[in-house]
Each structure stands twice: as structure tokens, then as C-alpha cells.
A and B are shown apart, each in its own frame.
Chain A
Amino acid sequence: MATIKINGKNQTFEGLDPAMPLLWALRDHVGIQGVKYGCGVGQCGACTVWLDGFATRSCQLTVGALDGRSITTIEGLARENLHPVQQAWIDNDVAQCGYCQAGQIMSAAALLERNPSPTDDEIDAAMAGNICRCGTYVRIKSAIKAASGAMTASALFYDATQSEEATV
């Protein structure tokens, strides 16, 4: 059994294989489907979530190892308004098929939360783990720069003391 805070809400996993990757636990058992299966081996970044605020591949995290940890998915990124990165993705019309974009946004938002004014090289380095097969890198970069202008370092991460409960 593991209790994981997902988008600010405690989810208790019972009876699941502790070796189940978080990706599949979210998709098949929590109904959180913004995380996408692309490769299953940590190569593509389509399943990127935040683990305690750091962009991480959810296909490489096992449910059993996450007890007490905090996960943010694309569904939990917006608060009252869209996160500036999400808004920039719309304004710059980034997506083609859109399948990778939740992962791209989670990586970009994690970057800007810590480094609101990254250089081109810093953007490249932070985004190198996310593949876009449609080749929207040109616009992803523009969107990150646009969002950068709207960002200041902030504490977006979920408060670990929240205690809403849910069991799957």
C-alpha cells in the first residue's frame, strides 16, 4: 500500500503491484490521463510529472516507492488561471498532434519555476528529455520565452499538509 499526494489530494493505492509504474497507476486506476505513454523507458518525456516539484518521468517511478511523496500532473498545474506556460502554449499555437505537449509543458514549467529567465542553452538542456515527433520545437522555445516574461519565481508546489483522501 502506498499513499501518494496527487495534485494536492491523497490517493491510497491498495492491492496494486508495487512495481507498477506511476504512469499506469495514474492512467488506469486514478483516471488521470494527461500523462501519456510514449516509450515506457524514460526516453520520450510524454509521461512527465513533477515529483516533489521536479520534472520526472512517471514511467520510471514505481507506485510502491512513492509513499508519502507529492506528484503534480498536467491536470494539477493550473490554479485559478492557467499556468503562464499553458497560456503561452495556446498563444503560440504550439501543438500539432499534441500528444507530447503535456510532458513538454510540465518540463518547461518546472524549468521556469526555478529559473524564470533561462538562456537558450538552459532551455535546450531542460527540454532535451522531451521528444516532439511532430517537430514543434521552434514554437515550444518561443512559448517558453513568452511564458518567461510572465513568470516570477513562485511557490506553485502543493502544500504537503493538505489531507483530502481518496482510495483506488
Chain B
Amino acid sequence: MSTSVDRNTNEGRRNFLKASLGLALTSSGGISIMSAVAAEASGTLNAYVEIDADGKVTIFAPNPEVGQGVNTSLPMIVAEELDANWDDVVCKAAPVAPNYGAQFAGGSLSTPMRWDELRKVGATAREMLCQAAAKQWKVERSELTTSKSMVMHGGSGRSASYKELVANAASIPVPKESSVTLKSASDYQLLGKRVVNASAADIVVGNPIFGIDATAPGMVYATYVKCPSIGGIAKSANLDAVKALPGVIDAFILEGTPGALDFGALRNMHAFAPGVAIVAKDTWSAFKARKSLTVEWDYSTASRDDSDALKAEALAILNSGAGEKDIERTGDVDAAFAQADLTGDAIYQMDFVSHAQLEPQGVVVEVKGDGVEVWSSSQTPVFITQNIANQLGIDVKNVTVHQIRGGGGFGRRLSNEPVFEAAAISQRIGKPVKLQWSREDDMAFDYYRSATNYRLQGAVTDGKLVGWKNLIAAGSRDDENPNYAAGYRPFDFPGKVIPNVAIEQTLFKSETPTGPWRAPISNVYAFAEQSFIAELAHQAGIDHKTFLLDAIGNQGWIKEGDIQSLNTARARAVIEAATKAAGWGRELPEGRGLGLGFFLSHAGHIAEVAEVSVEGNNVTVHDVWLAADVGQVVNLSGLENQLQGSVVDGVSAMAAQSITVKNGAVVESNYDSYPLLRMPQSPRVHVQTLDSGYRPSGAGEPALPPLAPAVCNAIFNACGKRIRSLPISNEGFTIV
């Protein structure tokens, strides 16, 4: 470890010290000095913390903000250990740079992956401030305490604010990690409290903080038209006619990469689909010109998917019985089924869905000489830098990426092809370009949540679930692997808990691109699994909650020490809490029902109970009671908001969201044909968070999976109709 500090040569001009340090954690978790930078009027204690002369504490959030709240919650972790006064803290998006590590938003990982790092960052900065005070006052470091951006010396009654100490603190060597102590949870002042979103004040006055608001001087506007059948090639177009239209600057074909793109290649990909770019003086001129564009498409490389045919093919596979491949097998499944008191057998099918985040994809890219600058709401800025350098054939050092708040993510912004489209357009015309996907583009060229097809069989003996069989019919683009989230992931429950389990899989050809959609695989598996368990309980004449708790058992951690794994005590606690809050077992009027769902995903143990009423084919979801154990709470308000929102999103998706595909092209185009839940249909949501004392897990995803089974189990209890297909509009039901 070495330290070097540049002294500003103009020190006499002002009284404060302009020296600062750039500090970051290495990939091994150690602390190293990355650089020394002179910073005007600020004390940069490390790559995450700056304290200026007014006492403002700027804390940088390393991961992208797409509505999951990390621009607030990640700085809170630093502020807690720093003992910064939260009122003085300004939260900012960090630059995209290697010293910030894995800058992405996915897998509900932002909080858990940064937890240790950011606590150490805050504690290290606090230690430096204390050492500076100790030196200044000639007292022992151990006699100093901190609170609300102040260092105090109890013995002498002396105190100093961080702003007074930061200049000296920035010039002392960064302490060894071993000399820095982290707080225990019982000492937290900020974590676990309700803190308002750091961007709330900007949001309520309409400040231009979103990706769509980015601008660059001299910027032009572009739209990019792709083959409706995914993967087709633009052969020719009436470019001259389009170029002659008002406001149009240029129109040209981009070769792109034919064929449906593969989400799995994301990390090392700068591919984008073939198409026609229209560049104009404003967005409207580009959109309007598009209506006059005629393209001759070459469909030879395009998807020919038909979602109805795919669903029928999958159904035939499921009806045929055995799968082609064993995915998982434990115990003696055949014996368990042969000796069972009762068995159940049911087929569950879920349609493709789109992300439909409210801000359509868009980006500003400026290719200038041998460099490029990108303003993007990507969920994976970490994957842009090298890939765009490869695309443009430039040095990665000449790539600057700005991460900007995104209007919703849900997995939609994990792929970066809008960036590469815009880069190609900017390179061609030599100007900064704002590329705006229309809503229709966004819905037509998504990486959809895969349609999924399961046949579930269960064996019950002595009132206990003893056998579990699952045949999966999975779409595959390459005939070897399931498409993203079309297959199975080894879930602890029931896989590791039920003694006799067989998971089998058969593939069928499907080219429609699929990708992560909020809680991938979990969001469909939970529906089938938790509905089917309720089916078996009903068949056995046992209360669903009792049957579920029996199935979960009491063995504690399934994988000791693995926070991702099932902990049956955590599972039982959330099921007990949610059912208690909902008044499980209470008498309900005719046509009303309660339903329960539990799922563990992304290390979050979550149970939900829904109360619905059914009148004819109209379903009203009145209330949802949710209990969550996601470990140590960072921002309680942000967490509760994610939990409430996941419930609403869950109802939204299960109600009527379905992407249909004909001739490889998506039929739905906007919110009229692909409805999102609106306020009148939205349930009341009652959330409670359980403090289990474990490490924090992310909260963006795990509350979604239990919702659909909870509601469908409630519908069954209300009217006796078992729903085995999503969306429930497939079965004639409407959520009102």
C-alpha cells in the first residue's frame, strides 16, 4: 500500500487544503490508493466521499438507479459508518470507472454486494477524520467519538466538524483495514430508519434527471426501424423520399447483426439488429418521417415463432409424460408415487411478458474522433465501456460513460443495444445523437420473460408432501440449452426439502429473445409450485398453511452459511407473520377468499396473503398482507416501497399481460393492447419486515414471486376455480 498526495501549487490563494485522495477497494476487498487528485474546494476522502468547506458531504452511489432506490440506500450505508449527518449528505451517481467495480443493477445484488465494501469505505473515512483530530488536539485517537458529522473529545470537551477536519484528514495515510472497526447493528443511527428518496425533491419539480433528458451540444435526434419479425434484414428502403421530408437530416441502412440476438452474449456483445436510421432535427420529425418509410425486409434470418403454436407444442410435450433430460433427481421418486396415499398432476403454462418500463429505451451518444461519450440509463454500464470501444475500434481509455437515472428497469436495461445503435448512427453522421425508441419499438424488441410450461406431480403420504415431479417444456434457440429463464434453477424448496424429487426437461425450438424479467424463473416457478402445493393440500383435506409449513419442515439452513439458501426458520416466521396479519382462517362471506403464497428468491424469504372476491369472472384483489425477511434493513421506507410495488406489479402482470408472437413479430404494441394495472384495480398492501439479524439482501425482486400464487389460491378459495395459466385473462378472468 502506498500513499501519494499532490499538493496544489496555488495553496496561498485560499486557506483550505486542496489535496485529496482517490481510494478504492481492490477486487480482493483490500483498500488501495488509486490516485491522487487535486480538488478545488473539496476534501475527497476516497472515491465515494467528498466533504466540502460548507460541510456538504457528497456520497457517490456506484450502481445504477432504476427505481430500486440504491441512489439513496447505498450512500446511507457509507453515511452510517462515517457518522455523517444525513441532512448534510448529497447522493450522486458515481462515474463509470473501473475503481467502482461491478457497476450494474441486477439480481437484487446492489445492496448485498456493496454491503461490506461501503461500510468499510465509511468507517475508513471516519477513522481518517478522527486521526486528523487526534493529531490536531494531541490526544489519543481512542478518546474520540463521532456523531452527526462531528468529532468529539470527551475529556477536554473539544469538538470539530468534519468540514474543519477534512483538509488534514485527506492528507494522512489511509489506515489499514485491520485498524478500522465497523459498528454493530445495535449502534446504527440511520440504517433501518425511513429515509426519503434522495431524488424526491428533483422528481416532484420535474428536474431533468432521467436518461431521456440527457442532451449534448449540437445533438440531433434519431429513430431506428427494425424488421417487425425479430432478426430480419433491411435490404432496401425509400431513403431518398424520407430524406426529403421536413426536418429530416439523413436516413440510412445499418447492417447490424441478422438473426434474433441472444441475451446470454450480453457481456461481450456490441451487436444490434439490422435496420433503418432516420436522423432529424427533433424527435417528432424523426417519428413522423418513419410513417412514410417503406422498407424491403429479408426475412430469411428472422424468427418464425408463433406463440400459440409454441404453447401447443409445449403442451403436447408435457402430456407425453417423460422428459428428455434429467435436471435433478433425489430419493426414489417412483416408489414415493407408487406408495402414496394420494397424488396430484397438473399442467401450468405462463405466457411471454414484456418489461414495459415506463421510460422507453433511449440514449445519447457522441462519437468524436477516436473517442466516444455515452449518457445512458443502462442497468449494465459496466458492460458498455469495453464493448463500445470494440464496436468503434477505439481505445477503451477514450470511452466516457455517464450513468443516469432510468425510468424503470425490471431487467429491461440490462442489454445495451440502443447504445450500440446510437453509436453507429453518431459515427455515421459525425454528430451527437439522441436515439429514442418509441414505445412500440420497446415492446416489439424486448428480451421477454420466457413463456414457461410445467407439468407438476406431487405425492402425499400421511398428510405430508413426500414426492415432487416436474417436467419442463422449455423453448430453445440452439436445441441444446433452454432460452433465458425458460428452464429451471435448482431451488432449495422443494428440491432440497422434499425427500423424493425429479426434475426433467424437454426442449423445443423457440427463437423469440428472452431475458431477465423481475425475479427471473422465480416469478413463474413460484406461481406453479405454490399453487400446486395448495392443490395438494386441498386434495388431502388439510389447511394450506399447515400443509405448507409441514412441507418446509424444521431443518434450519439448507446450506449452512449460504445466505442465498433456504432457512426454514426464516420461512416459517414470514408465513406465520403474514397469515396472522391477514387473519388466516377467519370466516369470509360467500365469494371471498384468502390465499397464501411463499417464496425464497434473491435471499429474501417472503410470504403474502391475498384477500379477493370473485363475482362471475370479475376478480377484485382487496388486500395483500406481506411479511418479508430480507435481513438487515437499510432504508425502511425504500424497502417498504419496493415490497408494496412488487405486489402491485405482481397483480399487474398476472391480470392480463401477455405477449403474443405471429411470424416472429410481437403483436402487442402499446399499453392499450398490453395493459398495466391502474390505481382503481390496485389492492391495499400491508407490509411488515422481520428483523432476523442476517446480512441485507436486495429487495427489488423477491416480493414479486409469491403474489400470483397467493391471489390464485385466494380465487380458488373464493369460487372453486383453479387457475393454471397466466395471465388469468387466459382463463376468462378480469381484475377489477
Contact = CB atoms under 8 A, between A and B. Distances in A.
A39 B287 CA distance: 13
Contacts of A86: 204-205
A89 B200 contact: yes
Interface in B234-273: 246-247
A20 B287 CA distance: 10
B358 A97 contact: yes
A82 B201 CA distance: 10
Contacts of A94: 200
A134 interface: yes
Interface string A69-94: 00001110110001000110111011
Contacts of A35: 206
B405 interface: yes
Given A17-B246, A17-B284, A96-B645, A33 B206 contact: yes
A73 B201 contact: no
Contact of A135 (B406, B638, B652): B652
Interface stretch (B64-72, B419-427, B718-726): B64-72
Contacts of B246: 17
B212 A98 contact: no
Given A33-B213, A93-B197, A102 B644 contact: no
Contact of B204 (A20, A82, A141): A82
Interface string A24-62: 110111001111111111011010000000000000000
A135 B677 contact: yes
A95 interface: yes
Contacts of B680: 124-125, 128
Interface residues of A, number: 62
A39 B443 CA distance: 10
A136 interface: yes
A131 B358 contact: yes
A17 B285 CA distance: 8
A127 to B, nearest CB: 5
Contact of A136 (B359, B406, B641): B641
Contact of A17 (B210, B247, B410): B247
B204 A135 contact: no
B279 to A, nearest CB: 14
A128 to B, nearest CB: 5
A148 interface: no
Contacts of B201: 90
Contacts of A17: 246-247, 284-285, 288
Contacts of A38: 358-360, 439, 671
Contacts of B638: 93
A138 B648 contact: yes
A3 B433 CA distance: 29
A32 B215 CA distance: 12
Contacts of A32: 206
Interface string B514-556: 0000000000000000000000000000000000000000000
B648 A137 contact: yes
Nearest to B685: A138
Contact of B642 (A96, A98, A124, A132): A96
21 contacts: A17-B284, A29-B282, A33-B208, A39-B439, A40-B439, A40-B670, A74-B204, A78-B205, A82-B205, A93-B641, A98-B210, A98-B405, A101-B204, A124-B679, A132-B358, A135-B644, A135-B649, A137-B682, A138-B644, A138-B648, A138-B684
